[in-house]
C-alpha cells in the first residue's frame, strides 16, 4: 500500500467516472469505485481498487462502502459525486416518472455522497469534493427542463457548501462539461430529443473524451490544499450552446 490518500467515485462503471478512476489509479491513488454495474468496474482490474455495488439513492449503502474502504486505505480525501442520469425530453410529453428518477439520482444522490465523507473531512480539515454538474447547470435548453433543474441544484448547493466548508479547509469543485463522449444518450427515450442531440453532436465533430476532464480533475486535485479551482467548464471547441 502506498501513502497516497483514498479517492471515492460514484458512477464509476462508465464514462467520466470510469475515466477518473483509471487516471487517479494510474497516478497511484487507491480508489473506491461505486456503481450499480459492479461487473464493469471489476473488469477494469485496477490495482488497489475496491468495487462496490451502490445505488446513490441509498444513503446507507454509500456510507457502508466508504466505511469499508476507509478501513483498508484510510480516510477518503476526494469524493467525486459523479453518478447521474439524463432523461432529456420535451417536458410536455415526458413521463413524470423520469422527473422523479433524475431528481432522486442527480440531486439526492449527490447529497448522499457528500454526506458520507463531509464530517470526516471537516474533522481532518482536509478533503476535496468534486460535484458533477453540466453545461446544462449554467444555461437552459428547452428539452432538458428537469435535467437542467437538477444541475442548477448542484451548482447551488456547491456554492453554499464551498462557503461553509472553506472554514474547514475543504475544497468544493464544480464540473460543468458540455457534450462529452459518454453513455448519456442511452437514457434518452424521447426520439425527437435524441435525434436533435445527435445531429448537434455530429455538427460540431463529436464530443470531448472523458479522459480530458479526468486529467484536469487530477491537476486541480494535485494543487496545494490552499488552492481551489472552483469550477471546470469544458466543452468541444465548436460547441456554441
**Phi, psi (deg, nearest 5) at residue 77:** -105, -20
Task: Give me Rg for the CA atoms of the chain.
Answer: 17
Q: Exposure of 216 by Cβ count < 10 A (0-12 exposed, 13-18 middle, 19+ buried)?
A: middle
CA angle 193–173–63, rounded 5-degree value: 90
Q: 221 catalytic, yes or no? A: no
| Residue in 29, 73, 147, 197 annotated catalytic | 147
As a whole number of angstroms, the distance between CA 204 and CA 222 comes to: 32
As a whole number of angstroms, the distance between CA 151 and CA 146 comes to: 9
| Strand pairing report for 76-81 and 6-10 | parallel
Residue indicated by cell numbers 490518500: 5
Q: Which of 35, 53, 18 is nearest to 181 (CA)?
A: 18
Residues acting as catalytic residues: 147
Amino acid at each position: 500500500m502506498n501513502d497516497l490518500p483514498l479517492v471515492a467515485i460514484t458512477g464509476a462503471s462508465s464514462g467520466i467516472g470510469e475515466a477518473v478512476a483509471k487516471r487517479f489509479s494510474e497516478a497511484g491513488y487507491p480508489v473506491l469505485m461505486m456503481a450499480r454495474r459492479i461487473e464493469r468496474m471489476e473488469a477494469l482490474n485496477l490495482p488497489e481498487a475496491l468495487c462496490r455495488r451502490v445505488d446513490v439513492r441509498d444513503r446507507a449503502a454509500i456510507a457502508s462502502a466508504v466505511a469499508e474502504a476507509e478501513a483498508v486505505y484510510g480516510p477518503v480525501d476526494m469524493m467525486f459525486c459523479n453518478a447521474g442520469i439524463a432523461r432529456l425530453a420535451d417536458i410536455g410529453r415526458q413521463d413524470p416518472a423520469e422527473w422523479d428518477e433524475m431528481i432522486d439520482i442527480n440531486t439526492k444522490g449527490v447529497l448522499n455522497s457528500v454526506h458520507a465523507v463531509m464530517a470526516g473531512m471537516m474533522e481532518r480539515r482536509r478533503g476535496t469534493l468534486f460535484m458533477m454538474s453540466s453545461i446544462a447547470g449554467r444555461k437552459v435548453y428547452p428539452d432538458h427542463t428537469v435535467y437542467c433543474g437538477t444541475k442548477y441544484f448542484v451548482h447551488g448547493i456547491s456554492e453554499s457548501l464551498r462557503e461553509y466548508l472553506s472554514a474547514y479547509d475543504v475544497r468544493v469543485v464544480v464540473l460543468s462539461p458540455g457534450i462529452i463522449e459518454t453513455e448519456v444518450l442511452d437514457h434518452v427515450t424521447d426520439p425527437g430529443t435524441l435525434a436533435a442531440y445527435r445531429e448537434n453532436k455530429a455538427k460540431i465533430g463529436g464530443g470531448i473524451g472523458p479522459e480530458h476532464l479526468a486529467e484536469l480533475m487530477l491537476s486541480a486535485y494535485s494543487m496545494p490544499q490552499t488552492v481551489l479551482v472552483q469550477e471546470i467548464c469544458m466543452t468541444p471547441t465548436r460547441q456554441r450552446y
